[in-house]
Amino acid sequence: MPVNASNNNLGWKAKNFKLKSVNEQVYSLHDLQGLNGTVIVFICNHCPYVKAIADKLSYESKELFKININTIAIMSNDVESYPEDSFENMKIFSKLHDFKFHYLYDEYQIVAKDYQAICTPDFFGFNNLLELQYRGRIGSDPINSKKKEYKRELYEAMKLINETNKGPIKQNNSIGCSIKWKQ
C-alpha cells in the first residue's frame, strides 16, 4: 500500500550521520554535502516506486552535480524481512542504475527516524546551510509512465534553492512503499 511523505515541515537543519557506502567506506553528511545544496533520498532495492525512478534519479543527480548540488541515497529497510534490500544487493542496484552518488546503509534505522522518513523514495532537499527546503517528488509523471515529457520537480526545486536558498512554495508529496521498520 503506497504512502505519502508529508512536506509541511520545512526549515529544519539536517542531522549529521556516519554510514557505510556501497564502496565499503564510512561517510558523514558533512563529507558528502554539496557546495550549493544536498539531496538526501531514502530508497531501497525492492520497491516498485524506487525501481520506476532509479534511472531518472541517476540522471537528475548527475545534472544537479553540475551546479554543485550533491545527492546522497540511504537505504534503511529491515534486511532480515526484506533480503532483496541487503547491503550486497545495494551494491548491485547502485551499479545497475549507474549511481555516481553514495548509496548508504542505515543498518540501525537511526537516520530514517531522525529525518522522519516515511517511504521509498522520500526526497529531502537542503540548501547550502543544510536547512530543509524541499520535501517533494522527483517529477510529475506517474509510476511506470512512458511519457517522454514530464516536469522535473526535484531538479527545478534544487535549482531554485541554489539561486535563492529557499524551495518552491508548491511542492507535491513523494509517494512510495513504506519504510520497512525492524520489529
pLDDT 10s digits, 6-18:
667 899 999 999 9
Reading the block at residue 48, the C-alpha cell is 516498485
> pTM of the full predicted structure?
0.94
Q: Residue 98's closest CA among 78, 75, 73?
A: 73
Using CB atoms within 10 A of its CB, is residue 147 exposed (0-12), middle (13-18) or buried (19+)? Answer: exposed
- Residue type at position 151: K
- Is the pLDDT at 21 greater than 60, yes or no? yes
pLDDT given at position 9? 84
Identify which has the larger pLDDT, 68 or 3. 68
Residue 143: phi, psi to the nearest 5?
Answer: -55, 135
User: What span, in angstroms and rounded, lies between the C-alpha atoms of 180 and 182?
Assistant: 7
DSSP assigned state of 82: -
The answer, yes or no, to whether residue 78 has pLDDT greater than 80, is yes
Domain spanning 3-178 has what CATH number?
3.40.30.10
Rounded (5°) CA angle 183-43-5: 80
42 touches 120 (CB < 8 A): yes
Lookup: cell for 160:
531554485
Q: What CA–CA distance (Å, rounded) separates 142 from 149?
A: 12
CA-to-CA distance for 29 and 114, rounded, in angstroms? 13
The residue extents of the domains of the chain are: 3-178
pLDDT digits (tens, 9 = 90+) for 95-112: 999 999 999 999 999 999
Of 35 and 142, the one with more pLDDT: 35
Instruction: Give percent helix, percent strand, percent coil of the chain, each to the nearest 5.
Output: 30, 25, 50
